[in-house]
Amino acid sequence: MEKRTQFPVGWLPYALVAPQLAITIVFFVWPAGQALWQSLLVQDAFGTHTEFVWFENFDVLFADETYIESFKVTAKFSALVAGFGLSISLVLAACCDHVLRGAKAYQTLIIWPYAVAPAIAAVIWAFMFNPTVGILAHGMQLLGYDWNHLLNSGQAMTLVVVSALFKLIPYDFLFFLAGLQSIPKSLIEAAAIDGAGPIRRFFTIAFPLLSPTSFFLLVVNLVYAFFDTFAIIDAATAGGPARSTTILVYKVFHDGFRGMDLGGSAAQSVILMAIVISLTVVQFRFIERKVQY
């Protein structure tokens, strides 16, 4: 798509795109290329000697049990986050769409946590779940349930999932609400005249019509769970206990900056890039085609 007339070309358009391009090349294209190149090298401990080893870093990575474990943790984490995020926010959006009085106020009071930094949300939730001072952990102790996410890996996972959902639900909620509000009222009324109740109308009309929104949100939620939750993991559990919340992005950071394993960290970066790119391609493909019945 282009405008049918254009301004005459001189040096101006180049000057206009120059700042954007310069930053893109220096901070995106160059480092990404470095990561690709680095993933094929092995460096000794003192950084004096590097050797080109083709795909050995990748072989080592996939033979590494902790890496496979981290994949499983990431899969579990993102499935929980996306699953709960989508279902809770869909129910809330449907309710908010149904009520007439106070809908705007509910919307405001549900979406504000989007503004809270993931790290801050994680610190507050970790405080509430803290075994010695946390109100929620204390409440569970009174009910006879022993909570200590510093020792129990399932509880640590619950903590990071809850912190991640805190920011994600407002986002999903807004999109579902916008989707529900754009459904023509005549469809709903016609179904009501035919005798369909609210639940039935939701599943036969609203739910299918929301499928493009849901699919889009699914991809966004997966990207969020994969990459944007680094702060939550670092602030709430630091990947523990016993690596039970070490998701892939956390492992890249940990191996690269704490373990100083440059080649291995770069290989992990390359795999992550492949995941992002494939998710983005999937997203664009399906959005073009519009999932709908």
Partner 1 sequence: MVENRPGLTFFCHALLIVSVIVVAFPLYIAFIASTHTAERMFELPLPLLPGSEAWENYSTVLLHGVAGASTAPVSHMMFNSLVVALTVTIGKISISILSAFAIVYFRFPLKNFFFWMIFITLMLPVEVRILPTYKVIADLGLLDTYAGLTIPLIASATATFLFRQFFMTIPDELMEAARIDGASALRFFWDVVLPLSKTNIAALFVILFIYGWNQYLWPLLVTTQEDMYTVVIGIKRMIPGGDASVDWNLVMATAMLALAPPALVVLLMQRWFVKGLVDTEK
Does 291 help bind partner 1 (rule: CB under 8 A)?
no
Q: Closest Cα to residue 174, out of 255, 228, 110, 125? A: 110
Q: Which is nearer to partner 1, 73 or 266 (CB)?
A: 266
Per CB under 8 A, the list member of 38, 70, 78, 221 interacting with partner 1 is 38
Per CB under 8 A, the list member of 62, 189, 203, 208 interacting with partner 1 is 189
Does 242 help bind partner 1 (rule: CB under 8 A)?
no
Q: How far is the CB of 83 from partner 1 (least distance, A)?
A: 17
Ranges assigned E (strand) in 17-117: 41-43, 50-52
Site for partner 1 in 135-174 (CB under 8 A): 135, 138, 150, 166, 171, 174
Q: Can you tell me the distance from the alpha carbon of 97 to that of 181, in angstroms, rounded to the nearest whole number?
A: 7
Per CB under 8 A, the list member of 60, 69, 228, 282 interacting with partner 1 is 228
Looking up tokens 């493909």 gives 285
Does 203 help bind partner 1 (rule: CB under 8 A)?
no
Q: Which is nearer to partner 1, 126 or 157 (CB)?
A: 126
Per CB under 8 A, the list member of 48, 132, 144, 194 interacting with partner 1 is 132
Q: Six-digit token pair at 145?
A: 């349930």
Cβ atoms within 10 Å, residue 47:
9
CB 122 within 8 A of CB 163: yes
CB 53 within 8 A of CB 38: no
Site for partner 1 in 255-274 (CB under 8 A): 256-257, 262, 265-266, 269, 272-273
Q: How far is the CB of 92 from partner 1 (least distance, A)?
A: 6
Which residues are 43's β-sheet partners? 50
Q: Can you tell me the distance from the alpha carbon of 23 to that of 18, in angstroms, rounded to the nearest whole number?
A: 9
